[in-house]
Structure 1
Amino acid sequence: MLKFEHITEIGGYGKVNSWEKVYQEWKSFPDLEVTLKEELEHIKDDPKALEDAFYKELTFGTGGMRGVLGPGTNRMNIYTVRKAVNGLAKYLLENVVNVKDRGVVIAYDSRYMSKEFAVETAKVLGAYDIKAHVFESLRPTPLLSFAVRYLATAAGVMITASHNPPEYNGFKVYNEDGGQMVPSEANQVIAAIKETENELSVPVLEQDELEEKQLINWVGQYIDNAYLDQLRQITKMDQNGLTQNKDLQIVFTPLHGTANDLVLRGLEQLHFENVDVVKEQAIPDPEFSTVASPNPEEHQAFTLAIELGKQKNADILLGTDPDADRLGVAVKNKDGEYTVLTGNQLGALFADYLLSHSEQAVLNNARFIKTIVTSELGRAIATSYGVETINTLTGFKYIGEKIRQFDATGETFILGYEESYGYLIRSFARDKDAVQAAVMACEMSHYWKQQGKTLLDALEVLYEKHGYYLEGLTSLTLKGKEGSEKITEIMEAIRKNPLTTVGGLTVEKTEDYLSSERVIISSKQTETIELPKENVYKMLLENNSWVCLRPSGTEPKIKCYYGVCESTKDQSESTLAALKETMETFMNQIIEK
């Protein structure tokens, strides 16, 4: 039986006869960067390593690209970055106005080669006379999103691999609105990238030329200060509550990433003064040496924060991922132990707090945004306040796109979140923002502490009112060419032979986002799904339960999401377990076939 949540290596790497030619081109390239040349020499007698490095080009998806560092077309290095930027530059010059004057803003995180890739980005843009605004030191992803809007640049680039392992880095592209590029934009960038035949020959200007021609502008603290001015305004506290010192005990860890300065300054300006930082994790470290994974979704990432929290008797623990777009929160349970909230739980608490502290005039035009695999508890809460909920596909780019539409329609954005620890409170940034979320989580925790409750107590109140919503996830990694084929087989199987029951519950509707078709099983009626096409398949079951299958767009994974709503915790846990057992058996049978 396949063990889920673990990496499974399946098979080989694909086209054999083309990668060797590309490898020889790299090997014989006279100006190959020294470190990459040394690494290539190191693996010259390892055919499997060479094939993996060259058998394909690193995939550029809708959000950009992400991969292992090293030589080769299937790796993150200065040449694959240059090729991506070359395509971006061509796209911008053809599709965006005043590109050369407005320029592109570039930020980077604490990973290996991040600053180098940021400078390489500027060097390629400079060859097209496009100005680059590059942060002088590492910054969070949400600040990059804000900077695009603040500087009114033509685009933004963030060098990060988010919470991936240390050997990874990535390249994320933002449109002129500060949101991640949506497919209609990204597809044009991808087409422009494909026109660049040889990544080794992309034209660049050297850094001294950029300086001389004033094509590089080093960005400093003034962007941070402008962001903090906006951050101060997200509070729901009145002036008296805002200025008083808070007795909330906070422990914070940036997990060796970029969030330390902005989170601390954001809390300080709201007069949260009892903040202790996990010292071992406050220093940027590309090895992320104190954690198995720098991902606040993984409970092990809170180990040191929990130790410090117990010493300080902390009310709340905060953890941000390396590029500070995801936030994890832990609070004490009735036994005095720290419990890490799920993304769905924290999102529901945000929804209730923000909506309960908003005026009716705001609520009348307010819109709450979530994804199709995010808990329905948020919708139930929004509905109770008379607020409309909007579903998007998975990926914060779609939430950002919807906010951009609100700028034209006059609708009011009130909150957006994903189950994967991504939240946006206010739209001065257009990507998930762990800095905003960290400050608001502390404000919310302070509010409930004044009522004699913890966040867990507040959550229980929501369950009692709306039903016991519970969610789960099976994440299966299948590497290599055959792994990709197995993921395709799973999706084909669920479409060709649809399940009629899952975990003993009847399937009432199916939603195939690839065909944009919703089928009502009892009447066999069909409806059109008004969302972009994507390889996602969802089953809506009786008793408000659901299951959704989705291949990852950035990793060799297929994910199965589950949602249930029963009247008690025990009933929800039992139903959830039944759904997971059915779907894991279904996937396992296809993989082992």
Structure 2
Amino acid sequence: MTIKFGTDGWRAVISETFTFGNLRLVAQAIADYIREENATDPSVVVGFDTRFLSDRYAAEVARVMAANRIDTWLARADTPTPAISYAVLNKNATAGVMITASHNAPRYNGIKLKSCHGGAASPSHHQRVERLLDRNLSSGRGPNLMDLDEAIRRDRVHKFDPSWAYYEHLSGLVDLDIVSGGELRVVADGMFGSGRGAFSEMLARGRTHVHNIRHEMNPGFGGIHPEPIARHLGLLMSTIQSGHWAVGLATDGDADRIGAVDSQGNFVDPHRIFALVLRYLLEKRGLQGKVVRTVSTTRMIDRIAAQNSLEMIETPVGFNHISDLMIANGVVMGGEESGGMSIQGHIPEGDGVLMGLLLLEVMAAAKAPLHELVDDLLAQFGPAQYARTDMRLTRPVEKARMVEMLLNLAPSSIAGVAVEDVQTVDGVKYYLNDGSWLLIRPSGTEPVLRVYAEAPNDERVKALLGFGEEMAAKA
């Protein structure tokens, strides 16, 4: 059996590799890791999303932790990943375990491991867990287990609600008075995930009217991937257009990602949300610091940082890379193409709920509809159109070998525009002299080769993607 942690934890198909037996083995390795981190007073926060059996899986993790004499805080109900991450920090826990497969298809489940800082565990921590797992397997050591009711009676497992401390913390990062004063009409699309109801609960006491859709418990996610991208948000778009709503906010399966829809029914992607919020934080709040983005994120971020004389740092894909820089302090905002973003003063973790609230603050403060704010952003820091295609793989691709082949195939120009630079921060990224770029990289969580492009117009984006797909097929 081979269990490997990817960009953000371990994910696998339920009943194939993600079984109770394998979960307990992984939980034991995590317990060993926690005891290595803190031998005298180890503690862990355990949470779960709305997926099939996630609550049962979380209970099994708690049983293993209790049997290893690790003080365990177990969420009472499905909860956003950032709420669990904040609870790790708030309770000064050694680590956190979140049962979720995030935005993946319903047949998947997984584990996200959180560090004591309240963010994603680093690749080196994941590797330590893998080594401990391999050691246990090779020595024939099974998991320690304790009856859950007995663990609760003996005060080794404490059930709790992480939401309220998390909401209180968010209220210190978002000006809820400004949001309330905007009297916005909002549709919140929980996508059947654990962010369901979060916006309405946060804004219940103000003058914002929130209408929830897809907020019921549905472990099958209505047959969609719970990922807030345009092709999965048809219901949100039609709801917006039929009811004179100001904005739609959608969070993914565990609410660490955000997507939006403007009042005209247009999808507003994370690139534009990131840029709008960053510009607001710098120009209206006067925040200062480094700006961090992943390699697949819009270069509008670079232009906003440059205008404000701030350092911009590009990282590989995966919020854990942003987390490391946020933990070191001095980062005003960090984000990635997939919708995970965070700001100064918050946990080093992507947070869809926080970003949705900040987008409402941006709109309310400007007293302008979202589509006008986007147009103004593009006029100032664009034009910038973006698209991504995913090529399914029949077998895994070794990233180093793929990078080598793509470098060997590197062209001097793409679609008639000269290539001015080639970077290998994560995959291979071609920078063109008209400000556009093309990125080809294997996914860290799925058997997929991703091709990304940004250019001044849709026609150029299409040409870049087509060229990238041809190159990827050759490689």
TM-score over 0.5 (shorter chain): yes
Runs of at least 5 residues in structure 1 that lack an aligned partner in the other structure: 1-55, 514-534, 567-571
CA contact 2:8–2:120 (8 Å) conserved in 1: yes
Q: Which amino acid aligns with 1:142?
A: P
CA distance in structure 2 between the partners assigned to 1:509 and 1:209 by the alignment: 61
Q: Which amino acid aligns with 1:511?
A: Q
Instruction: Give, in angstroms, the shift of residue 388 of structure 1.
Output: 2.3
The reply to whether residue 445 of structure 1 matches residue 363 of structure 2 is yes
- From 247, 262, 278, the equivalent of 1:331 is 262
1:186-230 deviation line (CA, Å, top 9, x unaligned): 21111111112178932211213312432111112xx32222222
Instruction: Give, in angstroms, the shift of residue 275 of structure 1.
Output: 1.4
TM-score norm. by structure 2 comes to 0.94
CA distance in structure 2 between the partners assigned to 1:88 and 1:245 by the alignment: 46
Instruction: Give, in angstroms, the shift of residue 126 of structure 1.
Output: 2.0
Instruction: Give, in angstroms, the shift of residue 485 of structure 1.
Output: 4.7
The reply to whether residue 369 of structure 1 matches residue 292 of structure 2 is yes
- From 154, 157, 164, the equivalent of 1:225 is 164
**SS in structure 2 at match of 1:204:** coil
CA contact 2:440–2:452 (8 Å) conserved in 1: yes
Instruction: Give, in angstroms, the shift of residue 557 of structure 1.
Output: 0.8
**SS in structure 1 at match of 2:320:** helix
Structure 1 window deviating more from structure 2 (456-465 vs 150-159): it is: 456-465
Root mean square deviation, CA, Å: 2.2
Q: Percent identity?
A: 25
1:80-132 deviation line (CA, Å, top 9, x unaligned): 111111111222222x2356x34100000111111111111112122221121
> Kindly tell me: are residues 442 and 210 of structure 1, through their superposed partners in 2, closer, same or farther at Cα, counting changes over 3 Å?
same
> Kindly tell me: are residues 300 and 62 of structure 1, through their superposed partners in 2, closer, same or farther at Cα, counting changes over 3 Å?
closer
- From 511, 520, 527, the equivalent of 2:423 is 511
Q: Show the 5 A alignment for 1:276-355.
A: 276-278=211-213, 281-289=214-222, 291-297=223-229, 299-332=230-263, 337-355=264-282
> Kindly tell me: are residues 492 and 383 of structure 1, through their superposed partners in 2, closer, same or farther at Cα, counting changes over 3 Å?
closer
CA contact 2:48–2:55 (8 Å) conserved in 1: yes
The reply to whether residue 546 of structure 1 matches residue 437 of structure 2 is yes
CA distance in structure 2 between the partners assigned to 1:62 and 1:348 by the alignment: 24
CA distance in structure 1 between the partners assigned to 2:135 and 2:281 by the alignment: 47
Instruction: Give, in angstroms, the shift of residue 486 of structure 1.
Output: 8.6
> Kindly tell me: are residues 321 and 575 of structure 1, through their superposed partners in 2, closer, same or farther at Cα, counting changes over 3 Å?
same
1:33-86 deviation line (CA, Å, top 9, x unaligned): xxxxxxxxxxxxxxxxxxxxxxx5232235221111115xxx101111111111
Instruction: Give, in angstroms, the shift of residue 236 of structure 1.
Output: 4.8
> Kindly tell me: are residues 272 and 320 of structure 1, through their superposed partners in 2, closer, same or farther at Cα, counting changes over 3 Å?
farther
CA distance in structure 1 between the partners assigned to 2:399 and 2:174 by the alignment: 44
Aligned residue number for residue 33 of structure 2: 91
TM-score norm. by structure 1 comes to 0.76
Q: Which amino acid aligns with 2:216?
A: I
CA distance in structure 2 between the partners assigned to 1:83 and 1:126 by the alignment: 14
Aligned residue number for residue 573 of structure 1: 458
Could you say which structure has the larger radius of gyration? Answer: 1
Aligned residue pair count: 474
Instruction: Give, in angstroms, the shift of residue 487 of structure 1.
Output: 7.4
Structure 1 window deviating more from structure 2 (349-358 vs 169-178): it is: 349-358
The reply to whether residue 66 of structure 1 matches residue 11 of structure 2 is yes
- From 387, 399, 402, the equivalent of 2:322 is 399
CA contact 1:146–1:430 (8 Å) conserved in 2: no
> Kindly tell me: are residues 343 and 302 of structure 1, through their superposed partners in 2, closer, same or farther at Cα, counting changes over 3 Å?
same
CA distance in structure 2 between the partners assigned to 1:383 and 1:329 by the alignment: 26
Instruction: Give, in angstroms, the shift of residue 488 of structure 1.
Output: 7.2
**SS in structure 2 at match of 1:149:** helix
Structure 1 window deviating more from structure 2 (312-321 vs 192-201): it is: 192-201
CA distance in structure 2 between the partners assigned to 1:157 and 1:558 by the alignment: 28
Q: Show the 5 A alignment for 1:159-238.
A: 159-197=99-137, 201-220=142-161, 223-236=162-175
Aligned residue number for residue 256 of structure 1: 192
Q: Which amino acid aligns with 2:370?
A: L
Q: Which amino acid aligns with 1:224?
A: S
Aligned residue number for residue 390 of structure 2: 475
